Structure 1
Amino acid sequence: MSDIILKVENISKLYRLGIVGTGTLSHDLKRWFYKLRGKEDPYLKIGDTNNRAEAAESAYVWAIKDISFEVKQGEVLGIIGKNGAGKSTLLKILSRVTSPTTGEIKTRGRIASLLEVGTGFHPELTGKENIYLNGAILGMTKAEIKAKEQEIIEFSGCERYIDTPVKRYSSGMRVRLAFAVAAFLEPDILVVDEVLAVGDAEFQKKAIGKMQDISSSDGRTVLFVSHNMESMARLCERGILLNDGLIEYTGEINDVIDYYLSNNLEFRSIFEEDDLDENCYVKRVVLSNKDGESTSNFKFNETITLSFEVLKQKGGTNAFDLSFALVNSNNVVILSSSFSDVNNFAIDEGTNMFKVNINGNFLNKGDYKVRLFFYDKSKHQNVQRIDCLNFKINEIGFYKNAQVRRALIIPKLNWVKA
């Protein structure tokens, strides 16, 4: 028996902009007459692609167009894309909330979806009553819900308020309860659309752990949409990138994330700030290579130099600290460094220059940003904090092993034989 649990073949969804239907009775009759004769909808040929930033030339738009992919049982598939790319439309079609205009979906087993926070919850009913209501909407029997009721309540973390009407819940409490019901439904396919961003950090960690258990331990399939690339990388094995309603890229999740971020990141090697109105400020930051050339592209074994130009106004204080952090594409801080860790530099009035080197054979292939901190010790606050520069490490380096390649840093350590 095939291990393919979900097969999507050339599905598309056409919407009319502004109004429902075709807009006129004659158009509706024409569409009905074509359908009666077994012919294709005449309005399918005139739709624009789904680019939300451009003015429409047609009254019709393809929210998604010719989407095809397969998902294996137990696989966690991440769906990535900017706002308006068609991600939610795709998930609504898969969840049977709406039907595709063209194409076919083949699936084995039950699909549960968590597309909106608290969808199906009645505000006047208590949390416990909504567990039964929402569970019934998702396809659970009363006996199934009753058997899992206490587990759902404990997982949601809302036990104290479970007999309180849901209208008094915060949005975070509602999403906790909604996710708990969907997670314990034991579907063959669980569809989750960006709802975890509403929960707090503790709940997000718990929810991701639950989805990992669903896929790895229980062998069920998860389709996950999120703008949190760190969660995507932790949870998913494979990814699909949607752009303007079309599949632009597909592959292993880390490759998809790298492709997406690289094509949506403006690389800068020079940062300049003209509005300096405090005692000390960073006026200019430059990324340069070993030849002193400013650049945002580096080889794996190449030393990266960060140069800081600090302007101290007349009579300004020396009580400050300059530091920076390197942040990767998953928004994980790789390293941080402050000049006060090593030296207590004297700051002269006027322009002061500082440099720091990041050795080659250290950062893995990927995209990084430089996050700058300028701390005034006399005021006990950051007076300047900005993600000022972006750069790229272009080659993997001396390691070829795929598992090692995923490490955050890959320094060339000195091995000796004892």
Structure 2
Amino acid sequence: MSVILKAENISKQYRLGLVGTGTISHDLNRWWAGIRGKEDPYLKVGSVNDRSAKADSDYVWALQDINFEVQRGEVLGIIGKNGAGKSTLLKILSRVTIPTTGEIKTKGRIASLLEVGTGFHPELTGLENIYLNGAILGMSKAEIRNKEAEIIAFSGCERYVDTPVKRYSSGMRVRLAFAVAAFLEPDILVIDEVLAVGDAEFQKKAIGKMQDISKGDGRTVLFVSHNMAAVKSLCTRAIVLEHGKTVFEGGTDNAVDFYLNKAKNSYVIPLKDRKDRWGNGEIKLVNISFLNENNIEVNQIISGEYLNVKMTFIKTNNEIDYDHLFVGVNFKDEQEQIVLSFLSDEMGSDFTNFKIKNEIELVIPNLFIRAGIYDLRIQTSLGTRREDHYDTIENATSIQVLPGRLWENGNLNRAGNHAIFPGTYNV
């Protein structure tokens, strides 16, 4: 196989808080350095791209010294936490933005699917946008016409193909955009997390099509996703980004394991000291403990048995609206997929006791979940908007669930385990 894409020393610097390069004085300094043949003085400054830390510079490196090669027909996964630089890298590879330093070398046409409706004109119909995107990719009208029926059929939007795209739902836009990008035969297909907008049926179709593109047609795919199961099933190799730098490159399974282990190690830091959280801090989670039916603290539980998730908070505001307080507890598997959720608004929870003490208990009479290790995502907020969050933290802690008899014969592990247990926050 031959190299179809090569990234050499790719870095991207942004100035925080302002649009453009900065002040007039900074532009003059850059100009003066340029006419003297000197390096841009602002390439020597800038803080690491850590979204959870307070900025100590006006500049930030979204990417730093990224190097990799992609072979023709390879499917490369790019994984990392939010803010790691994944989307910035794809925008550079797609020529949407230019790198501050470094160079991208490619052979052939690149089609990108970075955001919902990327490259679509809202006033044009779906069919007109198919031809517009094909022309952008350098295809003739005859070539596009030969693919037109396949694109429309795959997208599932045949009924609306003569309707302006501005009237499409976000899922319909993604369906049509992916179909255009996949069927107009680019040499390199670049796809960001945008596929998550589609429904489960379409995601399955899209992954199958990407496998066909790479294995059957020998074309190259660059794929960014937080769905580790999709990365494992689709990608032949992966790189892991952290704070704008490559921290791992290798086989997909090893890359996913490295990424998941990095995520789990993050909560070695005491919960009260964790910085990778968001919210105004008026309510802050500082400890989580798991209790069994005998009120003994545990870190393992048998599937199907009683579990009490006891959460301790500190409060800095005495005027909390407890009547409208929302608490969400999500259990995530090793692929970072939410498999179980407990949401206070759905459960009609009463937080009266939370006014008196700083604890909330999630009491689960029977934890019906398969054996495995699960991370907990904890959210406290006044509403669903980001600015209404008191405290939200991913991977707050983990618990190991051991196999239970329920999955073998349908019987619970303990008799009489059907009662609703008292507590501040019950199931």
1:35 aligns with 2:67: no
Residue 38 to residue 392, structure 1, CA distance change in 2 (3 Å):
farther
Deviation at residue 61 of structure 1 after TM alignment: 0.7
1:62 aligns with 2:61: yes
Distance 1:221 1:4 in 2: 10
| SS in structure 1 at match of 2:210 | helix
Distance 1:167 1:175 in 2: 13
Deviation at residue 52 of structure 1 after TM alignment: 1.3
Deviation at residue 368 of structure 1 after TM alignment: 4.7
Structure 1-normalised TM-score?
0.68
Distance 1:125 1:355 in 2: 53
Aligned length: 319
Match in the other structure for 1:83: 82
1:329 aligns with 2:335: yes
1:169 aligns with 2:168: yes
What is the 5 A alignment of 1:394-405? none
Q: Which runs of 5+ in 2 are unaligned?
A: 269-286, 309-330, 340-364, 378-394, 402-427
Distance 2:46 2:234 in 1: 36
Deviation at residue 138 of structure 1 after TM alignment: 3.2
Residue 204 to residue 87, structure 1, CA distance change in 2 (3 Å):
same
| SS in structure 1 at match of 2:213 | helix
Residue 113 to residue 22, structure 1, CA distance change in 2 (3 Å):
closer
Whichever residue aligns with residue 208 of structure 1, its letter is I
1:390 aligns with 2:409: no
Q: How well do the aligned residues superpose, as a CA RMSD in angstroms? A: 3.5
Residue 284 to residue 220, structure 1, CA distance change in 2 (3 Å):
farther
Deviation at residue 25 of structure 1 after TM alignment: 2.0
- Runs of 4+ in structure 1 deviating by more than 6 angstroms, as ranges, are 304-307
Over residues 24-45 of structure 1, what are the superposed CA-to-partner deviations in whole Å (9 max), with x where a residue is unaligned?
2232122122223332111000
Deviation at residue 135 of structure 1 after TM alignment: 2.1
Distance 1:370 1:42 in 2: 44
What is the 5 A alignment of 1:181-260? 181-260=180-259
Whichever residue aligns with residue 250 of structure 2, its letter is G
Match in the other structure for 1:346: none
What is the 5 A alignment of 1:42-53? 42-53=41-52
Deviation at residue 60 of structure 1 after TM alignment: 0.8
Distance 2:231 2:184 in 1: 22
What is the 5 A alignment of 1:338-349? none
Structure 2-normalised TM-score?
0.67
Which of these two proteins has the greater Rg computed from alpha carbons? Answer: 1
Match in the other structure for 2:318: none
| SS in structure 1 at match of 2:48 | coil
Whichever residue aligns with residue 86 of structure 2, its letter is K
Q: Which runs of 5+ in 1 are unaligned?
A: 274-281, 288-293, 297-303, 311-324, 334-353, 357-362, 372-386, 394-418
Deviation at residue 367 of structure 1 after TM alignment: 4.9
Contact 2:74 2:221 in 1 (8 A): yes
Match in the other structure for 2:406: none
Contact 1:16 1:59 in 2 (8 A): yes
Match in the other structure for 2:290: 271
What is the 5 A alignment of 1:243-322? 243-265=242-264, 266=267, 271-272=290-291, 308=306
Match in the other structure for 1:290: none
Distance 1:133 1:118 in 2: 13
| SS in structure 2 at match of 1:104 | strand
1:133 aligns with 2:137: no
Residue 37 to residue 167, structure 1, CA distance change in 2 (3 Å):
same
Residue 330 to residue 244, structure 1, CA distance change in 2 (3 Å):
closer
Match in the other structure for 1:143: 142
Over residues 310-350 of structure 1, what are the superposed CA-to-partner deviations in whole Å (9 max), with x where a residue is unaligned?
8xxxxxxxxxxxxxx994436498xxxxxxxxxxxxxxxxx
Distance 2:99 2:255 in 1: 26
Residue 204 to residue 108, structure 1, CA distance change in 2 (3 Å):
same
Distance 2:41 2:253 in 1: 41
Deviation at residue 392 of structure 1 after TM alignment: 7.1
Distance 1:10 1:250 in 2: 15
Residue 218 to residue 307, structure 1, CA distance change in 2 (3 Å):
same
Over residues 211-240 of structure 1, what are the superposed CA-to-partner deviations in whole Å (9 max), with x where a residue is unaligned?
000000011110000111111111111111
Whichever residue aligns with residue 390 of structure 1, its letter is S
Residue 155 to residue 295, structure 1, CA distance change in 2 (3 Å):
closer
Distance 2:213 2:175 in 1: 17
Contact 2:300 2:400 in 1 (8 A): no
Deviation at residue 23 of structure 1 after TM alignment: 2.6
Contact 1:286 1:307 in 2 (8 A): no
Whichever residue aligns with residue 72 of structure 1, its letter is Q
Identity %: 66
Contact 2:21 2:27 in 1 (8 A): yes
Match in the other structure for 2:120: 121
| Structure with the bigger percentage of helix | 2
Contact 1:76 1:236 in 2 (8 A): yes
Match in the other structure for 2:11: 12
